[in-house]
Amino acid sequence: MNALDGLKQRIASKTAVVGVYGLGYVGLPLALRFSEVGIKVVGFDIDESKVTRLNNGKSYIERLQAQEIIAAQQNGFEATSDFSRTQEVDALIICVPTPLNVYREPDLSYVENTLASILPYFKAGQLLSLESTTWPGTTEEILAPALKSQGFIPGENCALVFSPEREDPGNTTYSTKDIPKVIGGMTPNCLELGTQLYQHAIKQMVPVSTPRAAEMTKLLENIHRAVNIGLVNEMKIVADKMGINIHEVIQAAATKPFGFVPYTPGPGLGGHCIPIDPFYLTWKAREYGINTRFIELAGEINHYMPRWVVQKVADALNEKEKAIKGSKILILGLSYKKNIDDTRESPAVEIMALLEEKGAQIAYSDPHVPVFPSKRDYSFDLDSVELSAAHIASYDCILIATDHDAFDYGQLVQHARLIVDTRGRLQPAENVVSA
C-alpha cells in the first residue's frame, strides 16, 4: 500500500484529520462544517488573538455563534499558531487572503508565507488544497514546484488540488455546505482524493479538468459581477445627469422575464473578491500579450465611485450653503454590504478617508461594527455612534453607505438635515439626495 492508498482509506472512513490554514471569513466556516460532519479539524492562524478566542469557545465573526465553536470543539476542533502540527493532519486547506499590492498587482505573499510555514512539516500521504482566489496557473507554477523541491510529487506520494472558496457572508439561503464546490486536481488521482474529502462536507462537487480551469472559474464568476456592477454604476451616473431615478429604471427592467439580470449600483465595490479578483486575470493576461480592456474599464468605473459619492455630498451641502470642510458628516454602514460585519475593501472606508481629507468631521454608525477595525491602508480612532433623534439632527449630512436593515429610516428622514443615499433605500425628498 502506498501513501495515497492510506490517505484514501482515512478519507473514506472519516478518520482523516483536516488542517485549515487561515481562520477568517472563509476558513472558519469551512472548519466548522468539517467538524459538524464528524471530521477532526485543526485550525491554523498566525493571529494569536483569534486562536485564543476560538480555544475559549468564542467567535469573532458575527454570523458564527459561540455555540457553533463549542460544538466543533466537542468534535475535536482546536486552533493553533504552531505550524509544526502540520504533521498531525492528512489534508491541508489554505484559506488565506490574496490582496493586491500598491501597484494593483497580485500579492501572493500570504499564500507563499503559509506554504513556507507548511513545507518543513509536510509529509508523504498528505493532500494540499488551495482555496484562495488567484490567477490561473498558481497551483501548477508555484505550489507544485514547491512540493517537488522537497521530494513530493502530486499524484504519486501526495495530492494537490485547487478548489476556490465561494463564501457569501450574510447569505442565509446558501451556507458553506449548500454552495457547489468546484475542484481541479494536478492528476486524476489528486482530483479523486480531493473530491472524496470535500464531499463529506459539501453537498455537490463540480470537478473540472485542471487546477487552471478551477482558478479561471472563480475569476469568471467574480469578473461577471464586477463588469455588470461597473455597467450599472455608469448607468447611475448617466441617469443622475438626466434627472432619472436609476433604481426605478432597474425595477422596471427587472420585470422582463428573460434576457435581463438586475444589478444594483452603489458607492463602489467591496468585499474579499469582487474589487480584487479581476486584476488577477488582467495581470496574468499580459503575460500572454492580451489587454483585457473590458475588464479594466469596469474596474476604473467601480474604483471611481467613492469619489463620485464625495462629489455628490459636496454638491448637496453646497445647496445648503455649506462646504465639506468643517461639516459634521455621519457615515451609516461601514461593512461592504448590508447586515454583515465584514469591512474588507469596503467603499465606506475610502469615502470616510476622502471626506476627512477635505476637512470634514467624520463619525460612523454601524450596529455590526462597534469599533473601527484595524486595516492596512486606513486608520480611524472611532467607535460606532448610537442613533437618536437629537444625534441625527446634530449632523450636517448623513451618508447612507451601507443600508443595514437595523437602521430606522423613518427616524432618519424625520430628523436629519440632509441625507445622501448611495443605495437607493429612500425615496428622494427635500432632505434626501440620491448618489
Q: What is the pLDDT of residues 6-18, one digit of tens each?
A: 999 999 999 999 9
Distance CA 139, CA 155 (A): 14
CATH number at residue 286: 3.40.50.720
Q: What is the pLDDT of residue 274?
A: 85
Assess whether 160 and 15 both reside in one domain. yes
- Across the strands, what pairs with 22? none
Q: Which residue has the higher pLDDT, 374 or 159?
A: 159
Final residue in a domain of this structure, among 209, 243, 264? 209
Cα dihedral 310→314→317→321 (10° resolution): 170
Count of structural domains within the chain: 2
Q: If we measure between CA atoms, which residue out of 290, 265, 284 comes closest to residue 98? A: 284
Q: If we measure between CA atoms, which residue out of 11, 420, 379, 429 comes closest to residue 199? A: 11
Distance CA 413, CA 419 (A): 8
For residues 294-303, average pLDDT: 93
Told to judge if 95 belongs to the known catalytic residues of this protein, a careful annotator would answer no
Q: If we measure between CA atoms, which residue out of 195, 217, 215 comes closest to residue 140? A: 215
Placement of cell 512540493 in the chain: 147
Assess whether 180 and 270 both reside in one domain. no
In a domain, 229, yes or no: no
> Which range marks the domain in which residue 262 is found?
251-434
Q: What is the pLDDT of residue 101?
A: 87
Pairing of the two strands 41-44 and 18-21: parallel
Radius of gyration of the chain (CA): 24
Pairing of the two strands 328-332 and 91-94: unpaired
Assess whether 29 and 82 both reside in one domain. yes
Q: Which one from 158, 190, 273, 397 is the annotated catalytic residue?
A: 273
Indicate the length of the chain as a whole number: 435
Which of 79-100 are b and which e, b meaning 16 or more Cβ less than 10 Å from the residue's Cβ? Answer: bbeebeebeebbbbbbbbbbeb
Please enumerate in sequence order all residues whose Cβ is within 8 A of that of 177, keeping only pairs 6 or more positions apart, or say none. Answer: 33, 201, 202, 203
Assess whether 31 and 127 both reside in one domain. yes
In a domain, 237, yes or no: no
Residue 337 one-letter amino acid = K
Assess whether 20 and 136 both reside in one domain. yes
For residues 43-56, average pLDDT: 97
- Please state the pTM of the whole predicted model: 0.93
What does 133-183 look like in DSSP terms, one character per residue? ---TTHIIIIIHHHHHHTT--BTTTBEEEE------TT-SS--GGGS-EEE
Confidence class of residue 1 from pLDDT cuts 50, 70 and 90?
A: low
Q: What is the pLDDT of residue 193?
A: 98
Final residue in a domain of this structure, among 156, 189, 209? 209
Final residue in a domain of this structure, among 209, 240, 272? 209
Q: What is the pLDDT of residue 2?
A: 83
Question: 60-69, 168-177, 281-290, 309-318: which range is least confident on average?
Answer: 168-177
Query: Residue 322 has what DSSP assignment?
Result: -
Assess whether 60 and 202 both reside in one domain. yes
For residues 246-252, average pLDDT: 96
Is the confidence at residue 422, as pLDDT, over 60? Answer: yes
Alpha helices in 320-388 (DSSP H): 347-357
**Can you say whether the dihedral through the CA atoms of 384, 388, 394, 395 is positive or negative?**
positive
In a domain, 227, yes or no: no
In a domain, 239, yes or no: no
Cell for 366?
A: 454601524
In a domain, 68, yes or no: yes
Is the confidence at residue 334, as pLDDT, over 80? Answer: yes
For residues 32-46, average pLDDT: 98
Q: If we measure between CA atoms, which residue out of 79, 35, 72 comes closest to residue 55? A: 79
SS3 content of the chain, % helix, strand, coil (to 5): 40, 15, 45
Assess whether 261 and 380 both reside in one domain. yes
Q: What is the pLDDT of residue 375?
A: 83
Q: If we measure between CA atoms, which residue out of 73, 175, 184, 194 comes closest to residue 134? A: 184
Q: What is the pLDDT of residue 170?
A: 82
Assess whether 176 and 299 both reside in one domain. no
In a domain, 173, yes or no: yes
Placement of cell 474588507 in the chain: 344
Residue 240: Cβ-neighbour burial (10 angstroms; 0-12, 13-18, 19+): middle
In a domain, 216, yes or no: no
For residues 139-147, average pLDDT: 98
Cα dihedral 408→410→412→413 (10° resolution): 160
Q: What is the pLDDT of residue 160?
A: 98
> C-alpha angle with apex 12: 10 to 15, nearest 5 degrees?
40
Assess whether 270 and 194 both reside in one domain. no
Placement of cell 476627512 in the chain: 356
Q: In 10 A of CB 151, how many CB atoms?
A: 10
Assess whether 149 and 36 both reside in one domain. yes
Is the confidence at residue 168, as pLDDT, over 90? Answer: no
Distance CA 426, CA 435 (A): 11
Placement of cell 483585457 in the chain: 292
Distance CA 300, CA 273 (A): 16
In a domain, 134, yes or no: yes
Assess whether 381 and 271 both reside in one domain. yes
Is the confidence at residue 66, as pLDDT, over 80? Answer: yes
pLDDT mean across residues, the chain: 95
Pairing of the two strands 181-185 and 159-162: antiparallel
Alpha helices in 242-346 (DSSP H): 246-253, 277-287, 293-319
Assess whether 137 and 45 both reside in one domain. yes
